[in-house]
Structure 1
Amino acid sequence: MPFPILRTPFIVLSEIISLLEPNEIVTASFCSKNVQRLLERHYQRRKPVEWRLVMQDYDSRGRVKIRTSEGGKGITVMSVRPISELSEELQAKAKRNGYMLMFNTQFVTAYMENQMMTAKSVVNTIRQLFNLDVFAVVMDTNGTWAIDWINNRQEMILGGIEFYRNPKDHSNADETVDYVLRNARFSLYCNIDGNVSDNFKFNGKLGPMRQLWIKSNGHWVTCDNLMNFDSITILIEGSRLSVSDLNSFLRHWRAGASARLEYLRLIFEEHTFIERFDEELEVVKTDEKKIFRRSSDEWEWKFQGGYSIQRLDGVKAMIQCGPRWLLMGVCH
């Protein structure tokens, strides 16, 4: 005889729901409209404040994940795939119904012809179920539609964005990266891995945020860009900044600008970096051993020797250099 679970007192059901993983909850919501309403009512009363909703539209595939802790990879709760991946028989059925849902042991997959419309529908479903705004977006060239769509649908700005090059599409890379940098609003992090050309330039500002990471192809970052990045941590790979550029940035920092910066890491593209600082900067070679601890998340880096520089307000920083890299950590 089946157990009448929906007749169980709501307070008991809420305790049971609290034991489930996010993907299990989403799968259960498709059992019936009554179960869906029950789950929505639970999360309206007990909003999971530590959970983060992340949407992904990358390489012609979409996913919605829930991060249950800060820094966690996230649990896939639903995915979006093109109908073309189905067999001819299932494609015909999906087209008649407008969509097709398939269940596996981990999450639900939605198949539809229009990737964007499906992704929007799936994200709306998960948002309503868990009573959560979208926290972060992972996208490529074809997923930038999500920026305006989210900005127009929720008051809370994104926590972060991750933009990656599309392995199948290299067109309009410069325009796309420029659009993302100018239009995405975020508070915590921005990871960019765009396949931009040698002529790409960006003349805007970014931040404030916790972390900016330009993954490879960071050749476009100029000294002016670096000065206009308002971030606690800045990591740039593929940099073409010169010794002169870095001395200019250090003068800018020493005067009290870029005050939120705590950690800077530059990986140079090809040329050998020469440790040559302008005398007016009063950079001092040192054998000091200091532990840099980032305020935002307590991440640590051990500086063993290198150089010391002092800001005009007395704040000090350690600098370490190699043939193709530079690290700078501010000692609060």
Structure 2
Amino acid sequence: MPFPILRTPFVVLSEIFCLLEPNETVTTSFCSKNIKRLLRNHYRQRKPLMWETHMREHENDRMVAIAKYRSDIRRVVLSAVHISKLNEATNKVVEINGYKTEFSSRYLNLYFEDQVSGSKWIVDYVTDLFNVDVRGLAIDRYSIWAFDWINTRQEKSLNRIGLLKPTNDDSNADELVDYVLKNARCSDLLAISEYVPDNYRFNGKLEPLKEVCFSPNGHWVTCDNLMNFDAMNIYIGYSRLTVSDLNPFLRHWRAGGSKRLEYLEVHFENGTVFNNFFDEDLEIVRTNEVGRYPTSYGVIMVIRSGYCVQRTDGIKALVKCDQQKFYMIVQHERATNWREELP
């Protein structure tokens, strides 16, 4: 016997809707206009909603995902696919609101003639359904329109921006990288893995944020860039910096610059000469103190048998360097766990 869901009191429906996963919610909303209306009303009464919407535009991946607040685990809820990929002979396709739709076990695929319009449609649909803004954006060089579109469609800034490198194209993208760096407005993460030419230089400043990650193509980052990255965590991959280049940054930090910095990690592209010394005016000394920092990629970074440098306001940092990597952990109470090394 069919369940009379539309006759069920809204308070009961809300309890049922709370049991649905985000992908299940989106799929359910396509059942009828009345069901969609009930779901929209449900999410407009649930504040604050601890979910975030993420948009991905990378090559053939054009989709919207939902994640719990500040979580790295995202569930795709809706995907925009070009109509040329549709095979009605093998796919279970239905038409909803004029769009051909394929129901899968995980999420819905919607087919469009114009994938840009399709991507915009699925973003508008999901954000309207859940009454949320887009908080994460991952794009490639061919999807810069999404970067501008998101920034103009909503007042809230993004939490995360990722510029991804193409899988089969190693051409230069210096203008694109420069555009993203100068116009990025995000609070949590700016990550760029796009190819960058050897002669590229960034002369601007980044807006304050929690983390920057330029890997694996971080060869363009200079010491001046490090000084102008107002971030708590900085990760640079395949850097062409040397220990001599990092001494000015340490001098800058010691004088009170980069006050929000908690963790710095630099990977040297070709190795660097390191003879266990820094500039004398930095007053860096060896120490038995041990520093620990929970990195964003799930590893507890530990520095022991390293060096200690002190800022003019008394804040200390542990530094360790070898031919391949440079690490720096700042002794902020909420960020680190230091102790004296036992004999």
- Indicate if the aligned counterparts of 1:47 and 1:131 stay in contact, CA closer than 8 A: no
Aligned length: 329
What does residue range 32-71 of structure 1 map to in structure 2 within 5 Å?
32-47=32-47, 49-71=49-71
Q: Which stretch shifts more, 189-198 or 44-53?
A: 44-53
Does 2:178 correspond to 1:178?
yes
What displacement does 1:201 show?
Answer: 1.3
What displacement does 1:276 show?
Answer: 3.1
Task: Indicate the residue corresponding to 1:188 in structure 2.
Answer: 188
Task: Indicate the residue corresponding to 1:284 in structure 2.
Answer: 285
- Indicate if the aligned counterparts of 1:102 and 1:110 stay in contact, CA closer than 8 A: yes
What displacement does 1:109 show?
Answer: 0.4
Q: 1:176 to 1:38 in 2, by over 3 A?
A: same
Structure 1: 4+ residue segments shifted above 6 A: 88-91, 296-299
Q: Which amino acid aligns with 1:321?
A: C
Identity of aligned residues (%): 49
What displacement does 1:208 show?
Answer: 0.8
1:220 alignment partner, SS class: coil
- Indicate if the aligned counterparts of 2:184 and 2:207 stay in contact, CA closer than 8 A: no
Tell me, in whole angstroms, the C-alpha distance in 2 between the residues paired with 1:207 and 1:163: 16
Task: Indicate the residue corresponding to 2:197 in structure 1.
Answer: 197
The C-alpha deviation readout for 1:257-300, integer Å capped at 9, x for no partner, is 00000100000000324133100000101222233467x99984
Tell me, in whole angstroms, the C-alpha distance in 2 between the residues paired with 1:183 and 1:90: 44
Q: Which stretch shifts more, 121-130 or 105-114?
A: 105-114
Task: Indicate the residue corresponding to 1:253 in structure 2.
Answer: 253
Structure 1 segments unaligned to the other structure (5+ residues): none
The C-alpha deviation readout for 1:205-232, integer Å capped at 9, x for no partner, is 1131111111111010011111000000
Tell me, in whole angstroms, the C-alpha distance in 2 between the residues paired with 1:171 and 1:303: 38
- Indicate if the aligned counterparts of 2:159 and 2:189 stay in contact, CA closer than 8 A: yes
- Indicate if the aligned counterparts of 2:99 and 2:112 stay in contact, CA closer than 8 A: yes
Q: 1:303 to 1:196 in 2, by over 3 A?
A: same
What displacement does 1:88 show?
Answer: 7.8
2:212 alignment partner, SS class: strand
- Indicate if the aligned counterparts of 1:284 and 1:308 stay in contact, CA closer than 8 A: yes
Tell me, in whole angstroms, the C-alpha distance in 2 between the residues paired with 1:172 and 1:94: 42
Q: 1:141 to 1:268 in 2, by over 3 A?
A: same
Structure 2 segments unaligned to the other structure (5+ residues): 333-343
Q: Which amino acid aligns with 1:205?
A: K
Task: Indicate the residue corresponding to 2:210 in structure 1.
Answer: 210
2:159 alignment partner, SS class: strand
Q: Which amino acid aligns with 1:290?
A: G
2:305 alignment partner, SS class: strand
Tell me, in whole angstroms, the C-alpha distance in 2 between the residues paired with 1:110 and 1:25: 16
Tell me, in whole angstroms, the C-alpha distance in 1 between the residues paired with 2:298 and 2:323: 28
Task: Indicate the residue corresponding to 2:336 in structure 1.
Answer: none
- Indicate if the aligned counterparts of 1:273 and 1:325 stay in contact, CA closer than 8 A: no
What does residue range 71-90 of structure 1 map to in structure 2 within 5 Å?
71-87=71-87
- Indicate if the aligned counterparts of 2:242 and 2:272 stay in contact, CA closer than 8 A: no
- Indicate if the aligned counterparts of 2:172 and 2:197 stay in contact, CA closer than 8 A: no
1:145 alignment partner, SS class: helix
Tell me, in whole angstroms, the C-alpha distance in 2 between the residues paired with 1:116 and 1:94: 22
Task: Indicate the residue corresponding to 2:153 in structure 1.
Answer: 153
- Indicate if the aligned counterparts of 1:164 and 1:192 stay in contact, CA closer than 8 A: yes
Q: Which amino acid aligns with 2:204?
A: G
- Indicate if the aligned counterparts of 1:292 and 1:330 stay in contact, CA closer than 8 A: no
Q: TM-score, normalised on structure 2?
A: 0.90
Q: Which amino acid aligns with 2:198?
A: D
- Indicate if the aligned counterparts of 1:59 and 1:168 stay in contact, CA closer than 8 A: no
The C-alpha deviation readout for 1:219-256, integer Å capped at 9, x for no partner, is 10011111000000000001011222201101100000
Q: 1:168 to 1:98 in 2, by over 3 A?
A: farther
What displacement does 1:195 show?
Answer: 0.7
Tell me, in whole angstroms, the C-alpha distance in 2 between the residues paired with 1:236 and 1:170: 20
1:87 alignment partner, SS class: coil
Q: Which amino acid aligns with 2:234?
A: I
Tell me, in whole angstroms, the C-alpha distance in 2 between the residues paired with 1:291 and 1:191: 23
What does residue range 69-148 of structure 1 map to in structure 2 within 5 Å?
69-87=69-87, 99-148=99-148
Q: TM-score, normalised on structure 1?
A: 0.93
Tell me, in whole angstroms, the C-alpha distance in 2 between the residues paired with 1:72 and 1:313: 35
Tell me, in whole angstroms, the C-alpha distance in 1 between the residues paired with 2:208 and 2:237: 20
